[in-house]
């Protein structure tokens, strides 16, 4: 099978795919060449640069096109037409884990930077003046870290905060069982408790506006390495200017330049209690390597094993489809035709099969059918009567 990595792929990812028996092409195509060539590839790997439009998907799938899966090395899938992919039976997968530690570490770095005023001390020293008293800071140990959005990055940051002797509280719509976060009931509770408030929800809603900033301690620091839209920058400007909060450290902004080297303007830059970085959360060599390997693996697993993990336009598990599911366990002989007979019998009894998994056990095979109709003794009896079946249970 052939994979086109149109935005490049780390060497480890290429080696992994070769080892798994795939051919990998890393020659970058512009949109016209991509539309012309994509039908010959089983998978398309992209980062953010390649736009996987409806035209690309249709060119990859129509008239005998082979395209089966698109892999996005990273998180956002705004550059992929997920609807067109779904309509044409193309699964889209992403690689969200490779960036997790890099972004959590960056949030921690921003916290340390703003707490100890490192960027300001650096700038004044480089300008030729020794300032010591002016840059007295605060420590993280003993302070409360509040996290809104306790998913992959939030959890990773929580562990780091805890290791530094911070009390870690947080809010999430889902609560993870085994977590370093002490979950509070509302976002407001977190806002009131936090000495450092770090956002990690993603999403497109404004989480921190004038009301929320008023609830925060006047000594608190706001960290945003999530998405620029999560913070109302005008309200933040007012709070920082009036002493409503102690400071902020930002990696993401409502308006970000699209290309390297473009100018950046933001009125928050007038203030001297804000630390800035240029959306660097995921920008480490390690994260790039991990993400490249991760997307190579999840795409290969779909092509080789039909594994839906990390799909963004299809349920990763059958439960996510939202329909009732039941399991039926069949121990049977390993010989051709068994699955055909099971399928026929289920079909005649009106049992809709969603998935089946099967493993060899010495002489026999153990198969688990996931079905949408509740199993009955009659179903077991009918399947059990098929020659070569040893046992049927549900």
Determine which one of 47, 106, 200, 227 is catalytic: 227
Q: How far apart are CA 222 and CA 164, in angstroms?
A: 18
Q: Which is nearer to ligand NAD, 61 or 291 (CB)?
A: 291
CB within 8 Å of 336: residues ≥ 6 apart: none
Q: How far apart are CA 66 and CA 137, in angstroms?
A: 59
Determine which one of 116, 279, 372, 382 is catalytic: 279
Determine which one of 12, 139, 182, 256 is catalytic: 256
Residue selected from 73, 154, 161, 292 as contacting ligand NAD according to rule CB under 6 A:
154
CB within 8 Å of 319: residues ≥ 6 apart: 325
Q: Which is nearer to ligand NAD, 282 or 296 (CB)?
A: 282
Give the C-alpha distances (Å, rounded to integers) separating 162 from 67, 117, 144, 169.
Answer: 46, 22, 10, 10
Torsion over CA: 125, 127, 129, 135 (sign): negative
Sheet of 167-171, strand order: 182-183, 167-171, 144-148, 196-199, 221-224, 247-250, 274-276
Q: Please work out the total of residues on this chain that contact ligand NAD, with binding judged by CB under 6 A.
A: 28
CB of 102 to ligand NAD, least distance (A): 7
Residue selected from 78, 174, 178, 261 as contacting ligand NAD according to rule CB under 6 A:
174
Q: Which is nearer to ligand NAD, 276 or 329 (CB)?
A: 276
Contacts to ligand NAD from residues 241-260, by CB under 6 A: 251-252
Which residue in the block uniquely carries the two structure tokens 């605060």? 138
Residue selected from 68, 72, 143, 200 as contacting ligand NAD according to rule CB under 6 A:
200
CB of 41 to ligand NAD, least distance (A): 27
Residue selected from 149, 247, 292, 375 as contacting ligand NAD according to rule CB under 6 A:
149
Residue selected from 61, 99, 311, 313 as contacting ligand NAD according to rule CB under 6 A:
99
Contacts to ligand NAD from residues 19-78, by CB under 6 A: 75
Q: Which is nearer to ligand NAD, 258 or 360 (CB)?
A: 258
Contact 154, 170 (CB under 8 A): yes
φ and ψ at 313, to 5 degrees? -115, 15
Residue selected from 279, 289, 341, 382 as contacting ligand NAD according to rule CB under 6 A:
279
Q: How far apart are CA 174 and CA 170, in angstroms?
A: 11
279 is catalytic: yes
Please choose, out of 118-126, 137-145, 225-233, 363-371, the segment that lies near ligand NAD by the rule CB under 6 A: 225-233
Residue selected from 7, 81, 172, 297 as contacting ligand NAD according to rule CB under 6 A:
172
Residue selected from 13, 65, 96, 375 as contacting ligand NAD according to rule CB under 6 A:
96
3-state secondary structure of 393: strand
Please choose, out of 40-48, 84-92, 165-173, 253-261, the segment that lies near ligand NAD by the rule CB under 6 A: 165-173
Q: Which is nearer to ligand NAD, 99 or 311 (CB)?
A: 99
Apex CA 149: angle with CA 209 and CA 273, to 5°? 50
Largest Cα span, the chain: 89
**203 counts as binding ligand NAD under rule CB under 6 A:** yes
Contact 221, 247 (CB under 8 A): yes
Residue selected from 72, 93, 160, 227 as contacting ligand NAD according to rule CB under 6 A:
227
Contacts to ligand NAD from residues 287-346, by CB under 6 A: none
Task: List helix spans (H) across the chain.
Answer: 11-19, 31-37, 54-61, 82-87, 100-116, 118-126, 152-163, 187-193, 210-215, 233-241, 285-305, 338-348, 377-384
Apex CA 307: angle with CA 302 and CA 309, to 5°? 105
Q: Which is nearer to ligand NAD, 121 or 280 (CB)?
A: 280
Contact 111, 196 (CB under 8 A): yes
φ and ψ at 393, to 5 degrees? -140, 160
Which residues are known to be catalytic? 227, 256, 279
Residues that bind ligand NAD (CB under 6 A): 75, 96, 99-100, 103, 148-154, 171-174, 200-203, 225-227, 251-252, 279, 281-282
């Amino acid at each position: 099978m052939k994979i086109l990595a149109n935005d490049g792929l780390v060497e480890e990812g290429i080696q992994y795919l070769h080892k798994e028996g795939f051919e990998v092409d890393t020659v970058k195509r512009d949109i016209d060449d991509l539309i012309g060539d994509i039908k010959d590839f089983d998978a398309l790997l992209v980062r953010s640069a390649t736009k996987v439009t409806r035209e690309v998907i249709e060119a990859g799938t129509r008239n005998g096109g082979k395209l089966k899966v698109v892999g996005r090395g990273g998180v956002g899938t705004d550059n992929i037409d997920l609807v067109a992919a779904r309509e044409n039976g193309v699964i889209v997968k992403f690689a969200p884990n490779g960036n997790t530690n890099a972004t959590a570490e960056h949030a921690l770095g921003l916290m340390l930077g703003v707490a100890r005023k490192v960027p300001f001390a650096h700038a004044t020293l480089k300008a030729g003046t020794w300032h010591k008293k002016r840059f007295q800071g605060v420590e993280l140990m003993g302070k409360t870290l509040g996290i809104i959005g306790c998913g992959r990055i939030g959890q990773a940051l929580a562990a780091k905060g805890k290791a530094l002797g911070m009390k870690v509280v947080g809010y999430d719509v889902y609560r993870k069982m085994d977590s370093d976060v002490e979950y509070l009931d509302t976002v407001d509770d977190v806002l009131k408790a936090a000495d450092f408030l770090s956002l990690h929800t993603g999403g497109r809603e404004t989480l921190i506006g004038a009301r929320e900033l008023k609830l925060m301690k006047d000594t608190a620091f706001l960290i945003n390495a999530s998405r620029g839209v999560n913070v109302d920058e005008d309200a933040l400007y007012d709070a920082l200017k009036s002493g409503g909060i102690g400071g902020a450290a930002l990696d993401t902004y409502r308006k970000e330049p699209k290309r390297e080297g473009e100018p950046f303007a933001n009125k928050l830059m007038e203030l001297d209690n804000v630390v800035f970085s240029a959306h660097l959360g995921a920008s480490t060599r390690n994260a790039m390597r991990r993400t490249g390997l991760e997307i190579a693996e999840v795409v290969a697993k779909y092509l080789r094993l039909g594994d839906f993990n990390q799909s963004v336009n299809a349920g990763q598990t059958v439960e996510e489809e939202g329909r009732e599911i039941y399991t039926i366990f069949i121990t049977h002989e390993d010989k051709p035709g068994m699955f055909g007979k099971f399928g026929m019998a289920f079909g005649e009894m009106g049992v809709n099969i969603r998935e089946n998994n099967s493993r060899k056990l010495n002489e026999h095979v153990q198969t688990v059918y996931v079905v949408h109709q509740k199993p009955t003794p009659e179903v077991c009896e009918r399947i059990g009567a098929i020659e070569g079946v040893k046992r049927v249970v549900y």
